[in-house]
Amino acid sequence: MTHSNNKFCVPCRCWVSSTSWEDHCKKHLELLKEERGNFCGFGRRLGLTIAPALCPFCLGSNKPPSVRYKQSVIRSEYRYHMLRHDKDNLFGKKPELGVVLEFYEPQSCPHPLCSHSISSPEEYRTHFRESHGICFRNA
């Protein structure tokens, strides 16, 4: 028997058929506050991943539930994902035409349960680390 069409849900520790995967993810999103709170990083015990990492940008997007509740279990992939957002992010944009931007338009944190206002790239990383348990560097 193969699970190729099924998805594995890490927090539930079970396989979910691909047809009910969207609904399954939707349920987790509805319970986000109870299940995860603000924490998006990896939850680990004895070296085993017991909670997948989530992405605050995707969580706060209006994409399908399976994209919003994308479970990351591989650190390098997660970091790459976050860095790609970083690039798309307003703060990640390189100053154009040699103009150095010293002031940034404050943005509110993309996480759906968080309303923190972020006003610089440094603050954004610090906030993600301290409030959402996300590390951008090699751990």
Which residues are at the interface with Zn ion (CB under 5 A)? 9, 12, 55, 57-58, 109, 111, 114, 116, 131
E-assigned strands of the chain?
6-9, 14-17, 43-45, 48-51, 107-108, 117-118
Q: Which is nearer to Zn ion, 51 or 55 (CB)?
A: 55
- Report, in Å, the least distance between residue 84 CB and Zn ion: 8
The distance of closest approach from Cβ of residue 81 to Zn ion in the complex, given in angstroms and rounded to an integer, is: 5
> Which of 31/44 has CB closer to Zn ion?
31
Task: Give the CA distances from residue 103 to residues 6, 97, 99, 118, in Å, rounded to whole numbers and listed in that order.
Answer: 47, 16, 11, 12
Q: Which is nearer to Zn ion, 79 or 100 (CB)?
A: 79
Q: Closest distance between Zn ion and the C-beta of residue 47, in Å?
A: 22
To Zn ion, the closest distance from the beta carbon of 97 in angstroms equals: 29
Contacts of 21 (CB under 8 A, 6+ apart): 7, 66
Whole-Å CA distances, 53 to 12, 26, 59, 77, 95 = 14, 16, 11, 10, 31
Residue 40 to residues 35, 71, 114, Cα–Cα distance (Å): 11, 10, 12
Min dist CB 2 to Zn ion, Å, is: 20
